[in-house]
Amino acid sequence: MTKPKIKIFYMIERLARAGTELHLTKLIRQLDRERFEPVLCCLNASKTDRSLLPAGVRSYLLNARWNLLNPQTFGIYRQLVKILRKEKPEILHSFLFVSNIIGPFAAKKAGVRKVLVTRDRMGIEWQATAAHRWVQRLANQRTTLILCKTEAMGREISQVEHTSWDKIRVVPNGVETERFQFRVGEMHESRTCLREMYGVPVDGPLILAVGNLKPVKGHASLVEAATWLREKFPRIQIAIVGDGESRADL
């Protein structure tokens, strides 16, 4: 007899061309569809890049706002509970702050047995208030496992949010090394062409930072460190690739 598929209900605030969002879409695409049935819920439809929605996956696009204290939040919570009761997933897996708060509460109300949350940020300002820590602790109590990228992140969650280490699992990010396998000649030729295209010396060391240009990414610290690096490595170059609110300042 064929075993029934395990239904996983994935939650995220939006889909965009950013790290966590692309990680989730790739995770869904690579799931073994013989064993798992993914369902996707994006809380903020207006900020979701619909071209990133995984093909063949049932998706719910809600109209939540970012502010948890907005009166609309309770309506989104009720809507989510209704969807979960309809879908009856074995697992709810949420990503990013708002989803990691609303998801566990809604899952508990809807009777979802297993709740996973992925945490990928440390020391974020909007989670630093006493109110945010309090509501995060309540959400953690309704969570089966908390997945984080590093032990340092896990320790912060355990200490700041008074969460048992037994509930925390460290799952480091991986790198698809096969995507970056080039023959030596090809790699040298491509590197030379790219450096010449962007006016970077072809024979000096280069530090490349790729990511959203937001304060939390720490690009300002990299620029500050560049002064010290130049004293020790005069030929070093630093390139930052990305876009966002910090672009003008950088």
Measuring CA to CA, which residue among 109, 108, 125, 130 is closest to residue 117? 108
CA distances from 108 to 29, 117, 169 (A): 27, 13, 21
Cα–Cα distance for residue pair 170/154, rounded to 1 Å: 7
Note whether 245 and 214 are within 8 A (CB).
yes
pLDDT tens, 62-114?
987 656 666 677 888 999 999 999 999 999 999 998 899 999 999 999 999 99
pLDDT (0 to 100) of residue 177: 78
What are the tokens at 94?
A: 């949420």
Cα–Cα distance for residue pair 65/45, rounded to 1 Å: 10
For 44-57, the DSSP string reads: BGGG--GGGSPTT-
- Sketch the domain layout of the chain as residue ranges: 6-170, 179-241
Q: What are phi and psi of 42, to 5 degrees?
A: -105, 125
Q: What are phi and psi of 53, to 5 degrees?
A: -60, 125
Per mean pLDDT, which range of 6-10, 45-49, 173-177, 229-233 is the poorest?
A: 173-177
pLDDT (0 to 100) of residue 169: 97
Note whether 213 and 219 are within 8 A (CB).
yes
Neighbours of 86 (CB within 10 A): 9
Better pLDDT: 102 or 173: 102
Provide the residue type at 195 as one letter: R
pTM exceeds 0.85, yes or no: no
Cα–Cα distance for residue pair 201/88, rounded to 1 Å: 57
Measuring CA to CA, which residue among 166, 163, 158, 113 is closest to residue 140? 163
Cα–Cα distance for residue pair 89/110, rounded to 1 Å: 10
Per mean pLDDT, which range of 18-27, 80-89, 137-146 is the poorest?
A: 18-27
What are the tokens at 28?
A: 């869904």
The CATH class for the domain spanning 6-170 reads: alpha beta
